[in-house]
Structure formats: structure tokens, C-alpha cells
């Protein structure tokens, strides 16, 4: 059982995905971690995230151990992630890991929740349920600003909004695997919903899909 959750930064997709994974006892992969990880490794080696050859090499040799303890949640790393994520060599190198995770989730879990930008369209096109989680850019900037306020490198609200808009444009405008809802994705706009309401709505879709599938297999 694979659940695909896509959407832009700070839309609430991570919170929703973790809750779905815990409730249905599925493994969870935040695929943004992989792109942020590659971006972080490049920044830590003073490499330019736009350098295609270096980014490809970094992605091919990337492992999660390399970023153990690293702070990958900063705006700088988010920006670097979005730049490396536009490079086809990087996407190709990370695709295998994501598909393996979905095909054989760790700890014997009966399935997985993957969240990102291209899960429903590219990584897991056969997912049982696909969500596209959105919210108004101003609300996403408010949440991200709140989240990062206490940290070094936290940006002002205006700069956070600008950063989010620029990242949305790059992620949806790139040629390879752009951020886009799958044709059969369920949209949830979280601008005016709290996490409980989003989760309840998502569960209804998932429970219906499980019921339909059980009926189909008799």
C-alpha cells in the first residue's frame, strides 16, 4: 500500500504524511531530505549546486549517513536542494532509492508513505492514493517563518514569502519531473484547515480506496 503526498513547501504535507504513516502503520520517506541532503553536502564542500557534474557525482554517492546530525532545514539548504533537484542527473540518481523504499519498505512495513513533489507523477505512479496538498503562499510563508524564527539564518516574513515563491516557480517550472499534481490526485487546500481536519479528510480517501481495492480482489 503506497500513499503519495505531493505539494509545495510548507503546505502541511510532511505533518499529514507522518500521521498517515503512523496511523496505517506504514514506513515514511520524506524525499525532500534526499534533495536537501545532496544540496547540504555540496554546500559543505563549497561546491556550486548548479554544477551538474559535481551534483551528479554527489547524488550518485549520497547516503543518509552523510547528513547524520546536519541541519538541513535551513533556507540556504532549501534553496540548494531546489537547484540540484532541477538537474536530471540528480533526479535519476535518487529515483532508485525512492522506488526501492516503496517496493521494500523498512522494518517489514506493509507499505509506505512518500512525500515530495513528483511522487504521484514519477516515483510511484501506481500509488493507491495520491494527494496534492496546497495552501496559499502567504499562509505557507507564515508557517515557515514561525518554524524558523528561533534559528540562525531565519528570514523575515517578507523574505520567507519571496523565498517560497521563488522555490515554487523553480520546482514547477523545471523540465524534469516538475512539481505537479497527478491527474488522479486528491487536492486538499490546508490554508484554512488545521492538521486534524486535513488528516480526517485524507483518511476518508484512504479508507474508501482500501475498501474499493478489497472489493475488487473479492
Q: What is the radius of gyration, based on Cα positions, of the chain? A: 17
Residue selected from 11, 17, 31, 58 as contacting ligand C5P according to rule CB under 6 A: 31
Contacts of 24 (CB under 8 A, 6+ apart): 1, 3, 111, 113, 206
| Least distance to ligand C5P, CB of residue 91, Å | 7
SS3 113: strand
Q: Which of residues 62-81 bind ligand C5P (CB under 6 A)?
A: 78, 81
CA angle 142, 31, 149 (to 5 degrees): 25
Taking CB under 6 A as the rule, does residue 171 contact ligand C5P?
yes
Within a 10 A sphere around the Cβ of 183, how many other Cβ atoms? 9
SS3 102: helix
Taking CB under 6 A as the rule, does residue 167 contact ligand C5P?
yes
Q: Whole-angstrom Cα distance, residue 76 to residue 55?
A: 16
Stretch in the footprint of ligand C5P (CB under 6 A) among 53-61, 113-121, 155-163, 183-191: 113-121
Residue selected from 4, 26, 36, 42 as contacting ligand C5P according to rule CB under 6 A: 36
Comparison of 97 and 210: residue with beta carbon closer to ligand C5P:
97
Residue selected from 82, 121, 134, 186 as contacting ligand C5P according to rule CB under 6 A: 82
SS3 118: coil
Residue selected from 117, 130, 140, 143 as contacting ligand C5P according to rule CB under 6 A: 117
Comparison of 20 and 81: residue with beta carbon closer to ligand C5P:
81
| Least distance to ligand C5P, CB of residue 35, Å | 3
Taking CB under 6 A as the rule, does residue 9 contact ligand C5P?
yes
Contacts of 152 (CB under 8 A, 6+ apart): none
SS3 201: helix
| Least distance to ligand C5P, CB of residue 156, Å | 19
Q: Whole-angstrom Cα distance, residue 51 to residue 123?
A: 24
Site residues, ligand C5P (CB under 6 A): 9, 31-32, 35-36, 78, 81-82, 85, 116-119, 167, 171
Amino acid at each position: 500500500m503506497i500513499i503519495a503526498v505531493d505539494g509545495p513547501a510548507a503546505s502541511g504535507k510532511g505533518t499529514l504524511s507522518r500521521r498517515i504513516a503512523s496511523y496505517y502503520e506504514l514506513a515514511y520517506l520524506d524525499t525532500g531530505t534526499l534533495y536537501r541532503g545532496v544540496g547540504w553536502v555540496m554546500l559543505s564542500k563549497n561546491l556550486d549546486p548548479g554544477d551538474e557534474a559535481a551534483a551528479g557525482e554527489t547524488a550518485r554517492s549520497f547516503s543518509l549517513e552523510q547528513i547524520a546530525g546536519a541541519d538541513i532545514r535551513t533556507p540556504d539548504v532549501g534553496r540548494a536542494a531546489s537547484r540540484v533537484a532541477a538537474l536530471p542527473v540528480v533526479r535519476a540518481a535518487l529515483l532508485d532509492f525512492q522506488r526501492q523504499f516503496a517496493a521494500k519498505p523498512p522494518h517489514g512495513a506493509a507499505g509506505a508513505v512518500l512525500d515530495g513533489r513528483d511522487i504521484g507523477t514519477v516515483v510511484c505512479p501506481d500509488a493507491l492514493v495520491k494527494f496534492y496538498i496546497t495552501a496559499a503562499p502567504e499562509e505557507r510563508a507564515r508557517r515557515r517563518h514561525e518554524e524558523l524564527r528561533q534559528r540562525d539564518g531565519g528570514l523575515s516574513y517578507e523574505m520567507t514569502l519571496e523565498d517560497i515563491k521563488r522555490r515554487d516557480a523553480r520546482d514547477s517550472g523545471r523540465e524534469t519531473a516538475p512539481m505537479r499534481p497527478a491527474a488522479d490526485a486528491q487536492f486538499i487546500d490546508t490554508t484554512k484547515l488545521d492538521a486534524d481536519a486535513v488528516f480526517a479528510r485524507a483518511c476518508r480517501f484512504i479508507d474508501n480506496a482500501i475498501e474499493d481495492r478489497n472489493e475488487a480482489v473479492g
